[in-house]
Chains A and B, each alone.
Chain A
């Protein structure tokens, strides 16, 4: 595995020098260091699970329970399964991001690259979707609403003026679980409709998920004195 990474890195270096004037390549990444980092933190042979991630967070200096940067990091690395980073994902991602030491990792996580507030809309949408997928429990496709209540404030990064009211509504409602579709639609709703006084941008007979229809209904009912 390491050999392959090394070969890939070398190839990139070589192809650079063959062509015309190019900016100097940044220092080569050392794949063995990446692998070693994985083995330091991973609690299992092939994946870095929650425990491992917690350890990683500790090393970096962020709180795994409340810090959105953990999620952002996992997103950037390219984790596909909930609550874990697989060995291949780690190797490929860390290599791509050129993080072969804890220092570089720290700089990365604590810096702008993992700050979702700077992401533009399309990217943020993708990130927001990731937070849901990553936070699922095991093979479940949906997330329990209590978990959503914890996750949403972290993941939304202040981009929604409906954060509080929606969570209040969700708690009182009879729904027990939230689907990916509902999660993403909430963001869409916040962006498209936001604080518009007459709910411009929202159509009652539109394709908004029923949950949001009920939410708006609730808001309208509450607004009537």
Chain B
């Protein structure tokens, strides 16, 4: 049996491994790699070296050279690195250093690879048995210790110099930096520690210093929008830089540093810059600049002094200013003598336009961000409740709607009507005294409905629907009730007519008599007038009362003569006219019918006695009939005012080309009753207090106040007012003061 020849250490090392593999390898590296040769060693050469190593490691002790080979592997690499590689690097600096390093690193990777391949057998058993670093890792470590640690300072400085140059718009060799970054990553040996500690930390520091300087320049030379444009460009460039040649983990840290220097530290100065800060941009409608400002400051974390909150505060201040200006202008107009009526559509439209404008700004420029929505809302709440003149903004808004919903009011298409109503409801939502608005709106609605002045039932329901959506059905219950009364009116009328026809004893005589029933709770209170009616009308009311009592035994009907219309046939000479008048006017006219063939002249007092109308109504009626456009009555003396001493008669000389004439009458100014709103509020507050105390049994004064305020949705009472109600409730023994706890109350069952 032939045993293979034992290879001695030096012999094997020097003759085989070193001469045929290592020296060759080093030579190739030193002279430059031949691009044409795909593999440095062809398989035959490689196998030979591998086998030598293998044999030397598997020989029986004392000829097992594993330990030595492992050692010499390391030494070879170290040797090469310290004697060849490092000196070469030390000679260079700046970009040349980086270039050289790239080459040397690439070489080292190759060397490491082949050294590992040659000595691979060591990796299989020796390394594992002795828990040593693998050949690959060992080689890498040597590079790190002998080369990298020696040059890293200069290398990093060179990298940062390149980066700074690129920031200043120079073109640099990005691949150079990228390769060096790859080296840094490798030097971490599984982690990014080397990259972070040796390079990134310094990069962040130099970036900070760079942008501190740059932003100072910009602040001095540029206005806010120009600064922000540059800032945006810089931030984008930094992000791109990371993508191109840095490690991705650096992105958030790098951007944070930049944002801090460029945006966060300069924020206050920029926002408040005279002539170009946030408020100036808003005033000049600089949409793109505002959007950019929002984008950029949105990157900074929100605190009361940084990020978006200070910007929102400025937006709010601006809108408040604009709103207050509108109110101030109205105030000025009134003090200069403009009529202080309950209508000011131009003013309302201005407010609506302001709201529209900034609603759009918030949604388009500020991305609908909640902070800005809140700013808009708070600003509007501030000035929308600023009333100037005799009429509250609530009233002006309601009248504005009245104008739109009235026939003969503003002429608008359906879409415009809806748009205006919708916007008015939005504006309404900022009012604190919503119950006041409701009261006024109800009164105006009643007027529209009863005088048949409502342009469109659909539009009325639309508006009520919007209010209901915002405030709940309790808010709009009465309004809906009014509309419903009228809606079912037609059916009731048909029913009444068939009732009349059914029995000849139920006759309305020669009169066409129709009745509209109103449910008391829904409608405003009307003056009840106990007029003396002509017998024809009395007969009709009797028939209706019988009809109604039959249908609804539990309900009581009260006649409202101040409402309603009549059509009176009047004969002046040969000509017959159809006079469209109010019921009260009809009653008065009928008293002037000739008695026993003789025409009558009646004094005011006589008329008053016959019809039994209070002066405020009678005067209006007589005025409309004797002093208006159509003088169906003649007044003595002729004048434009009705005096208590006047006398009246049928105007025999009356004539008019038309046959059908509407004789209008001035309506009583039935404006809303502020007392009613006060009463309703008193009731609402007391109900809330009782409700809360019943549920909680005992509560401190402050807590009770807070609860009450939160429960009252439609107005905001002064705490003093609430206190007064609490005292009233104590007096009526609904609650008592807690004898043991100061400033607290207890519920009395």
Contact = CB atoms under 8 A, between A and B. Distances in A.
B743 A181 contact: no
Contact of A179 (B719, B727, B744): B727
A180 B730 CA distance: 9
A75 B385 CA distance: 54
B731 A210 contact: no
A61 interface: no
Interface in A190-225: 192, 203, 205-207, 209-210, 213
A12 interface: no
A209 B719 CA distance: 12
B719 A207 contact: no
Interface string A180-191: 111001000000
Interface string B366-390: 0000000000000000000000000
B702 interface: yes
Contacts of B745: 207
B701 A206 contact: yes
A141 interface: yes
A141 B731 contact: yes
A179 B731 contact: yes
B701 A207 contact: yes
A207 B736 CA distance: 12
Interface string B698-727: 001110000000000000000110011011
Contacts of B744: 207
Contacts of A206: 701, 742-743
A207 B738 CA distance: 11
B619 interface: no
Interface string B200-233: 0000000000000000000000000000000000
A180 B733 CA distance: 11
A120 to B, nearest CB: 15
B484 to A, nearest CB: 43
B742 to A, nearest CB: 8
B717 to A, nearest CB: 14
A185 B745 CA distance: 13
A82 B727 CA distance: 22
Which of A141, A182, A210 has the most chain B CB atoms closer than 10 A to its own CB?
A210
A19 B719 CA distance: 61
B744 to A, nearest CB: 7
A139 to B, nearest CB: 14
B737 interface: yes
A99 to B, nearest CB: 31
A206 B737 CA distance: 12
B743 A210 contact: no
A205 B720 contact: no
A181 B719 contact: no
A141 B701 CA distance: 24
A210 B724 contact: yes
B743 to A, nearest CB: 4
B702 A210 contact: no
B741 to A, nearest CB: 10
Contacts of A180: 731
Contacts of A207: 700-701, 723, 726, 737, 742-745
Contacts of A210: 720, 723-724, 727
A207 B698 CA distance: 14
A205 B700 CA distance: 12
A182 B702 CA distance: 19
A181 B727 CA distance: 7
A179 B700 CA distance: 22
Contacts of B723: 207, 209-210, 213
A205 B719 contact: yes
A184 B742 CA distance: 13
A35 B731 CA distance: 36
B730 A181 contact: yes
A206 B702 CA distance: 7
State the 8 A-B residue pairs at the shortest beta-carbon distance, nearest first: A207-B701, A207-B743, A206-B743, A181-B730, A179-B731, A210-B723, A209-B727, A181-B727
8 contacts: A141-B731, A181-B737, A203-B743, A207-B723, A207-B726, A207-B737, A207-B744, A207-B745
Interface of B: 700-702, 719-720, 723-724, 726-727, 730-731, 737, 742-745
Given A179-B727, A207-B726, 6 more contacts: A181-B730, A181-B737, A185-B737, A203-B743, A206-B743, A209-B723
